[in-house]
Copies of this chain bind each other. A is one copy, B any other.
Amino acid sequence: MDHLYEKTLRSETLYEGRIINLRVEDVELPNGKQSKRELIDHPGAVAVIAITPDNKILAVRQYRKALGKSIVEIPAGKLEIGEEPEITAIRELEEETGYSCQSLTEVISFYTSPGFANELVHLYVAEGLVKKGEQSADEDEFLDVLYLSLEELEEMVNTKEVHDAKTAYALLYLKMNQR
Interface residues of A (CB under 8 A from B): 2, 4-6, 8, 14-15, 17-20, 22, 24-25, 27, 29-31, 33, 35-40, 42, 45, 61-67, 69-71, 73, 76, 78, 108-119, 121, 139-140, 142-144, 157, 160, 163-169, 172-173, 175-176
Return chain B residues, CB-CB under 8 Å to A112.
112-113, 164-165
Q: Which residues of B are found within 8 Å of A6, using beta-carbon distances?
A: 63, 65
Enumerate the 3 nearest inter-chain pairs by beta-carbon distance, A residue then B residue, closest first.
Answer: A35-B140, A4-B63, A165-B165
Asked if B110 and A168 make an inter-chain contact with CB atoms under 8 angstroms apart, the answer reads: yes
Once A38-B17, A65-B27, A66-B39 are accepted as A-B contacts, the answer to whether A111 and B163 lie under 8 Å apart by CB is yes
A162 to chain B, nearest CB (A): 9
CB-based contact A116/B42 at 8 Å: yes
Q: A4-B143, A8-B65 are in contact. List 4 more A-B contacts (CB 8 A).
A: A39-B65, A111-B164, A112-B164, A176-B176
**Chain B residues whose C-beta falls within 8 Å of the C-beta of A35 in the assembled complex:** 140
